[in-house]
Structure 1
Amino acid sequence: MTRSRPLLLALCALSACARPHPPILHGPAAPDPAAMNSRSPGWPRTSGQADMILVGGRVFVADNANTMAQAVALRNGTVLAVGTDAQIRALAGPDTRTVDLQGRLVTPGFNDAHVHFGAGGQNLLQVSLLGATSLAEIERRVAAAAEQAAPGEWILGRGWDQTRLPASELGPGGWPTNAALNRAAPKNPVVLTRVDGHTSWANETALRISGVTEDTPNPSGGEIVRHPTTRQATGILKESAESLVTRFIPDPTEAQERRGIHAAMDLAARTGVTSVQSDVTPSHVAIYQQLRDADSLTVRIYGWLPLQREMIDTLRARRITAPTGDDWVRVGMVKGYTDGTLGSRTAYMQEPFADDHSVRGLPQYTNAQLDSLVTAADAAGLQVILHAIGDAANHQALNAFENAARANPAHPRRHRIEHAQVLDRADIPRFRELGVIASMQPTHATSDMRWAETRIGHDRAVEGAYAWRTLLDAGATVIFGTDFPVEPLPPVEGIYSAVTRQSREEPGVPPGGWLPAQRLTRAEAIRLYTSASAFGEWQEARKGTLRPGMLGDLVVWDRDLLTVPEADILNAEPVLTVVGGRVVYERR
């Protein structure tokens, strides 16, 4: 890849060339709860004054026993002790900050296992199309941005969803055309990314700059939506066809990237997210490192790189074959895309879509191509994560992991499938058998349930759509995230979705939840966002539970996520977010 050299320089700074940092893969072993002093779920092995104590509340440790305590103490950026109020108060000294929880719930900091943090930060600075239910509304938002832009300046936005628009406003294939965008910004190129990030909507100016005409062929793995009679491009570009236009968009400046990352960090702190697992670019890594060195980084980063042959070979040659970095900034995954999305009908399905029998989606690899890449990355000791939405894509991904395990010597593996949205029933036990982690996003289910059964059919939905309960019961490891900015970052929306399978816009709908057999308990949902997500990045010995020696990342909530009425989960907000023992957000 063309950007491998600057990225490797950043990786060098993360690893051997960096200033000393704590061990990155296996920190001090977290104590076994059964071995702890019986007085407390987490009593320190050493004495000393705490930097901060939080007393008078309910502390959810997030271990498999669902241990609860009254109070927690932090020192030197880690958890010193968890126990009763009296036990924790005894650890206070004259310089200790005491937080009276007043009965509030404390959880570990949330670890979002799948975000696009840098891009999400940029999206916070661009035109938001979330919730738009008409072309007129989209046109108004774009026109408002055009009024502030210089002629010729690119106008970018994200969040539109054609399934929320009236059918009468849609053009060929059930997609909008660029007519509204042409009216809204006649002097500017406009590119709007669909909510799922797999389809772009461009105006005529952007198409002209990019040279996309009726004669431009569809690229491999992509589609240019065209008018059925004129063959003119309508402005809708699916999957790899997006790059026909997006490659002409100027890269954000360093100042713009910094603004976006700060916006994303602020949002994370305000919503209780203390760690994210995200794609990274060279400039992102450099900014994260600079923020870390200035003690200004307020969220922990675990990054992934593209699953490409040159990247694998270069990483292996540099002996970067395991998570590299420190407790704040690490890189250790390589990611490939096996298909698209259900919303765009580009997810790779075993059978045609129920609402369009002419398509089965857009696979991004042949079996041989995927097997070769995954086997090479596995041989290099890298953690491979594969985007897979459709049942055929998930089957292909599982096969690739199985073939890699057969081809290479045994070694510790934590490969993952990202999304795992529609599964063939026969593939569900293979997650446990192969040790493949299902990295899922519960809000995808409640966003998609309005149309999912229409798209894939009732039988396929019941068999294995957004089937986190079925996967857990089959012994698979499931971890939770949001796919921000595809879905909102606040983890409470994911907890609500996992627990209720009901609409976030209309709580209680549908009654009992969509496919309610897949519902989780609240404790399970929180664990999948904390301790399980830490396992998904090889960090279960460093974070994800509130036990002595673990990183001091925690959230104090304004209401009890474990006991409030289900609909009230959506209203929960942090009153205090702590990362590494440092307060990064406090509600006033």
Structure 2
Amino acid sequence: MLVVDGHVAWVGQDAAGRASAPQGAHLVDLDGALVTPAFVDAHVHTTGTGLSLIGLDVRPARSAAELLEAVRREAREGTGPRATGPLLGSGWDETAWADPALPGADDLDAAAQGRPVLLTRVDAHASLASSAALRELAAAYPHRGPWDTAHLTGSAHAAAARWAHDALPPAHRALAQREALRHAASLGIGSVHEMAGPAFSSLEDLTALLELSAQETSLPDVLGYWGELGGAEAAEGVGAIGAAGDILVDGTIGSRTAALREAYADGSRPAAYLTAAQVRDHVVGCTRHGLQAGFHVIGDGALDVALAGLEEAAQALGDAALRGARHRLEHVELADAEAIGRLARLGVTASVQPAFDALWGGADGMYARRLGAGRAQALNPFAAMAAAGVVLALGSDAPVTPLAPWEAVRAASHHSAPGSGLSARAAFTAHTRGGWRAARRDDAGVLAPGAPATYAVWEAGELLVQAPDLRVANWSTDPRSGVPGLPDLTPGVPAPRCLQTVVRGRAVYVAA
């Protein structure tokens, strides 16, 4: 492969490549390593991801007592920026505890010795606050409560997340963002889609991240989205490529806030946060500004609202204009065949997170406990969406799940529900080229002449053609099909090790 001025100039046999190289070209022998397009993580919260790397990560806690012990240890041993201001942590998941009872505000006060505490749930749609934090929240957001309980959801949680971001000193925020992007580069990720918005961060946070990405050329690319309803002008003002991402049509299944057609197993049935008219108006406004629109949609009830709004926008704009704008929906976890067909007709990209199924799918997983085993089988229908022509882009929703691109490809190709998985090659394409297509960049995500030289080099074993079932495998493993192989993604086999990540011809990571 010949790279000139940050672009791939030629790919082929060595002799022709050497003959085509300009005088003084630098020759690198990769000694049999695998070279692929770099991954694109199509859904990331960069600052939050960095804070989980340099701050308090409470994912290992398996009980309220262990959660409180982690807070106690952090209050006692935290240094530098972690030693002052609110004590922030993330990742608790009571569905993994033998006893799901949550600690109270007074318990958190005692563990943190009175310091304000805010601990975000693993799905980033709920949090736990100490009494000291609740008092500050009540003063800052008197009308967003209630502020009389440690367990915050809905608008109270959104206000708490904003409060936590506002409490970060700029230097600490920059440290978290830089750490997240460096970690992404070490995993072969060349680009991330930042899902900013008032529900999770701020315009200041997004502006700082985009400036960091532009100024420091040793980091992956950041494509920014600003998730605010009616926020097209704000998105344009900060250089975002869309007023999209986490504009919440509903919540999450884990927090029982996703909007469903049928009730949860416990009988609860929350409504969608937005109406079809609100979706329509936002989509029309973004399309007329030349920006992508997009929404967070998890439940089938929320998807009904989003699709109705998109179809009303198509009536206002014309089908061609709507399809040409290539809007996107995040997560799309519960979609039946009829809804998938509507997504395909509207030209909507589905930004999906296979790690959700790996963590919460299966007969005994959180989805089954929330919805019942039968309904849980219908979640994350990747194969059906791909077969219908819906463009898929894979991401992590980090810090909800870790940055781990090969594990996402593995999860998509080893789905917990038979028939819902992709071939490894299709999943890999969705995590590379699919991410660029989701951002309306069709020239990237491939290693071909003219494409940006954004790639990763891997230490990998034998390359295989892997498919989720025999119908595909019987065709795709035939040598005449010409399907390129990928590293062995059988569960339990170690993922390839990244040796180098290059973004537009610049090395942003080199393994020691």
2:89 matches 1:177: no
Matched, 1:161 2:93: yes
Residues 459 and 98 of structure 1: is their aligned pair in 2 closer, same or farther, counting only changes over 3 Å? same
Which structure 2 residues correspond to residues 132-531 of structure 1 after superposition, within 5 A?
Answer: 132-148=61-77, 153-167=85-99, 170-171=100-101, 175-211=102-138, 233-249=148-164, 250-280=166-196, 281-288=202-209, 290-291=211-212, 294-309=215-230, 311-312=231-232, 320=236, 331-335=241-245, 336-354=247-265, 356-357=266-267, 359-409=268-318, 410-411=320-321, 412-449=324-361, 450-462=365-377, 464-501=378-415, 514-531=416-433
Q: Is the Cα–Cα contact under 8 Å of residues 395 and 424 in structure 1 kept in the other structure?
A: no
- For the 8 Å contact 1:378–1:404, the answer to whether it is kept is no
The offset of 1:260, in angstroms, is 1.1
Q: CA-atom RMSD, angstroms?
A: 2.6
Shift of 1:522: 1.3
Higher normalized helix content (fraction of residues): 2
Greater Rg by CA: 1
Q: How far off is 1:276 after superposition? A: 0.9
SS at match of 2:344: helix
Which digits, 9 at most, give the CA deviation of each residue in 1:175-199, with x for residues without a partner?
Answer: 4434542331132010000011100
Q: Distance in 1 between matches of 2:17 and 2:495?
A: 30
Q: Post-superposition shift, 1:312?
A: 3.2
SS of the equivalent of 2:411 reads helix
Deviations 1:456-493 (A, max 9, x none): 2233233x311111111122111111111111112011
Identical pairs, percent: 32
Corresponding position: 1:104 with 2:104: no
| 8 Å Cα contact 1:152-1:187 kept in structure 2 | no
Show the counterpart of 2:470: none
Cα distance, 1:548 vs structure 2: 0.7
Give the TM-score of the pair, scaled to structure 1.
0.75
Once the two structures are superposed, residues 316-373 of structure 1 have per-residue CA deviations (whole angstroms, 9 ceiling, x without a partner) of: xxxx59xx96xxxx5333342100001100000011002x11x113521133333333
Q: 1:268 to 1:448 in 2, by over 3 A?
A: same
Letter in 1 for 2:373: H
CA contact (8 A) 1:492 1:569 kept: no
Q: Could you tell me which amino acid in structure 2 is paired with residue 155 of structure 1?
A: L
| TM-score normalised according to structure 2 size | 0.85
Q: 1:129 touches 1:159 (CA, 8 Å); kept in 2? A: yes
Which residue of the partner structure matches residue 57 of structure 1? Answer: none
Is 1:117–2:50 an aligned residue pair? no
CA offset at residue 247 of structure 1?
5.0
Pairwise CA distance, 1:202? 0.8
Q: Which amino acid aligns with 1:550?
A: A
SS of alignment partner, residue 430 of structure 1 = helix
Q: Which amino acid aligns with 2:272?
A: P
- In the alignment, the residues of structure 1 paired with residue 337 and residue 248 of structure 2 have an alpha-carbon distance, to the nearest angstrom, of 22
What residue identity is the alignment partner of 2:295? L
SS in 1 for 2:241: strand
Alignment partners' CA distance in 1, 2:177 and 2:391: 30
Q: What is the alpha-carbon distance in structure 2 between the residues aligned to residue 206 and residue 156 of structure 1?
A: 10
State the AA in 2 paired with 1:302. L
Shift, 1:293, TM fit: 5.5
Q: Residues 558 and 235 (structure 1 numbering): CA distance in 2 closer, same or farther, change over 3 Å?
A: same
After superposition, the C-alpha distances for 1:422-460 in whole angstroms (9 at most, x for unaligned) are 123321211111111111011011111122122122332
Change beyond 3 A, Cα 1:270–1:176: same
Equivalent residue letter for 1:579: V
CA distance in 1, matches of 2:204, 2:228: 19
Does the Cα contact within 8 Å between 1:339 and 1:347 map onto a contact in 2? yes
The Cα of 1:292 is off from its aligned counterpart by 5.2
Question: Is the alpha carbon distance of 1:95 and 1:251 closer, same or farther for their aligned partners in structure 2, counting shifts above 3 Å?
Answer: farther
Distance in 2, matches of 1:77 and 1:111, equals 18
Question: Where do 5+ consecutive residues of structure 2 fail to align?
Answer: 197-201, 464-485
Secondary structure of residue in 1 paired with 2:127: strand
> Cα distance, 1:532 vs. partner?
1.4
Aligned residue for 2:478?
none
